[in-house]
Structure 1
Amino acid sequence: MDRRSYLKALGASGAALTLAGCSSNGGGNGTTTGSTTSSQQQTQIVAGTAPGFPPFEMIQNGKLVGFDIDLLEAVVEQSDGYTLKTWEQYEFGSLIGALTANKVDVLAAGLSITEKRKESIAFTNPYWDANQAILVRKGSSWKPQSLSDLAGHKVGAQSGTTGESQIQGLIENGTLKEANYNAYSNYVLAVTDLENGNIDAVVLDKPVADTFVSSRDVVISTVVETGEQYAFGIRKNSPDLESGLNAGLQAVRDNGTYADLKTKWFASAETTTTTTTSSENSSN
């Protein structure tokens, strides 16, 4: 069964939600975002994401897949008045610019709600809670227990992320030398460098760290409580789209689709990570 058939099957029991469509102008790569299909009276929207953030968004066997991909598609299907036209892929640091330039209409990329980002864009209701984690190589004798323990070590993060913000804070207060920070276009590259010994630690979102622990030679040394929340990003002053996506989010929670997708993308990673980190912590 393909992903769209899977999502339709999961959402079949959800009640239809009536929404008024809205339209916006502008497009990228030959597409027009916010275009309306007159025969069905539905607004087509273009979604933007940044692969390399598993299991939220990644390329697998040449296809764009992940929790965020499935979730947004399910949300839009439950939001009468909207259809998803296509996905556009960017580096994470370019996503907000693509949104404000009307190249895409919605961002689904494990995007944390921050005050700085709220200066440029708006957010839907949150759909995920997250903290930051510090990854180190499996078998390493160095086990940092706080961000300040990163002093004197080479550290990596993905450009534009809240993980990078944590590291930039260390640089600004003098805890970490700027020369010891490596920025990456995605976390897959950062973790590869960690495994190869080119850096000593990676700071990244806990659920993504869980996924790497389940498949790579790395472990979570500690979790930094940051209380972040992920949401879909949209342009400011888009009340109809915001209402539509929020209604769709509630619908997929109510009909069980959200829980099914969480199990699909996170159950195996969480089980492996819990076992691994418990073993590591008990040895310290």
Structure 2
Amino acid sequence: MSDRSLSRRQYLTSVGGAAVTLSVAGCMGDGGSGSGDGGGGSGSTGTEQAPSITAGTAPGFPPFEMKEGGELVGFDIDLFEAVVSETEYQFDGWSEFEFDSLIPALTNNNIDAIAAGMTINEKRDETIDFTDPYYSSDQAIVVREDGDFSPGSLSDLADRPIGAQKGTTGEGVVQDELVGDEITQNQYNAYDNYVLAIQDLQNGNVDAVVIDVPVAETFAKNRPVEIAFVYETGEKFGFGVRTDDDELTSALNSGLSAVRESGRYEELTQKWFGE
């Protein structure tokens, strides 16, 4: 879990250049048209109407955000809605995007906030702002449960086809730590979401997938895959907001504190992670 007293600026200062090296959350991809209706604009429309916000997310990252029976569910979904309920803002709903289209959607005013298991790092912080951290994670290397490949370190991934989701910490680890040293660029397979990556792993098209630990644990419970080892990154997730939306940032930070103090945060972590 993330440190309640650790602000976004304190976190960035503490990780310094390490976060840049990992490209933890570098979802600076082009594109930006999502499947939702969008609709930014967190400003108030009148004295009698509460200011409204629309949030963006990227399903396919269980248990943070995923689709079940056509419904958007997950830890981020429940947590963000609980946080907003503690503020003066009115929540107008969700818009869905590929992960690497979320930041463009935010900066283009198609949404007002990002809740998508997005890691705070200096590269992203140059384009958007983040709330205080709400979750901590490392990266897991996932392999087939019934396979004979059992890596214990990154060097064991040499000359193997490796997968990760575009714009994520996992992709940053692959590009920074593996490509050029242990594997070729052609041996790296990038996916729009981790559901596709894990499916390709099951089908034998890649030998390992690099993914956030809690997400890897969820896949391991439901699919014939397992965690081979954990690569420590010390990343922290935050809600993304526009750099000029200080009022919303402050409101979400206050709402997050209220959710923690009420015990709702612990209820949600127990619900989604069994913690």
What TM-score range do you get, normalising by the shorter chain? 0.7 to 0.9
1:47 has 2:55 as partner:
yes
| Residue of 213, 216, 219 corresponding to 1:209 | 216
Paired with 1:31 and 1:104, the residues of 2 have a C-alpha distance of: 6
For residues 81-101 of structure 1, give each alpha carbon's deviation from its aligned partner in whole angstroms, at most 9, with x where no partner exists: 211111100000100110111
Q: Which residue pairs with 1:218 in the alignment?
A: 225
For residues 26-45 of structure 1, give each alpha carbon's deviation from its aligned partner in whole angstroms, at most 9, with x where no partner exists: xx847342242536441100
**Residue type of the alignment partner of 1:66:** G
SS at match of 2:199: helix
1:77 has 2:77 as partner:
no
Q: Which residue pairs with 1:14 in the alignment?
A: none
1:162 has 2:185 as partner:
no
| Residue of 245, 251, 263 corresponding to 1:244 | 251
1:266 has 2:255 as partner:
no
1:133 offset after TM fit, Å? 0.4
**Residue type of the alignment partner of 1:71:** L
Gaps of 5+ in 1: 1-27, 271-284
1:107 has 2:127 as partner:
no
1:140 offset after TM fit, Å? 2.0
SS at match of 2:243: coil
Paired with 1:264 and 1:201, the residues of 2 have a C-alpha distance of: 28
Paired with 1:29 and 1:151, the residues of 2 have a C-alpha distance of: 43
**Residue type of the alignment partner of 2:79:** L
SS at match of 1:113: coil
Change (3 A) 1:50 1:191: same
Paired with 1:244 and 1:151, the residues of 2 have a C-alpha distance of: 46
Q: Are the equivalent residues in 1 in contact too, given 2:38–2:95 (CA < 8 A)? A: no
Q: Which residue pairs with 2:65 in the alignment?
A: 57
TM-score (normalised: structure 2): 0.84
Paired with 1:221 and 1:175, the residues of 2 have a C-alpha distance of: 17
1:172 offset after TM fit, Å? 4.8
Q: Are the equivalent residues in 2 in contact too, given 1:171–1:178 (CA < 8 A)? A: no
Q: Are the equivalent residues in 2 in contact too, given 1:153–1:180 (CA < 8 A)? A: yes
Q: Which residue pairs with 2:188 in the alignment?
A: 181
SS at match of 2:51: strand
Q: Give the length in aligned residue pairs.
A: 240
Paired with 1:225 and 1:30, the residues of 2 have a C-alpha distance of: 35
1:170 offset after TM fit, Å? 3.1
Q: Which residue pairs with 1:135 in the alignment?
A: 142
1:89 has 2:101 as partner:
no
Q: Which residue pairs with 1:98 in the alignment?
A: 105
Paired with 2:40 and 2:215, the residues of 1 have a C-alpha distance of: 32
1:152 has 2:159 as partner:
yes
Paired with 1:164 and 1:191, the residues of 2 have a C-alpha distance of: 14
1:224 offset after TM fit, Å? 0.5
Q: Are the equivalent residues in 2 in contact too, given 1:170–1:176 (CA < 8 A)? A: no
Query: Which structure would you say has the larger Rg?
Result: 1
TM-score (normalised: structure 1): 0.81
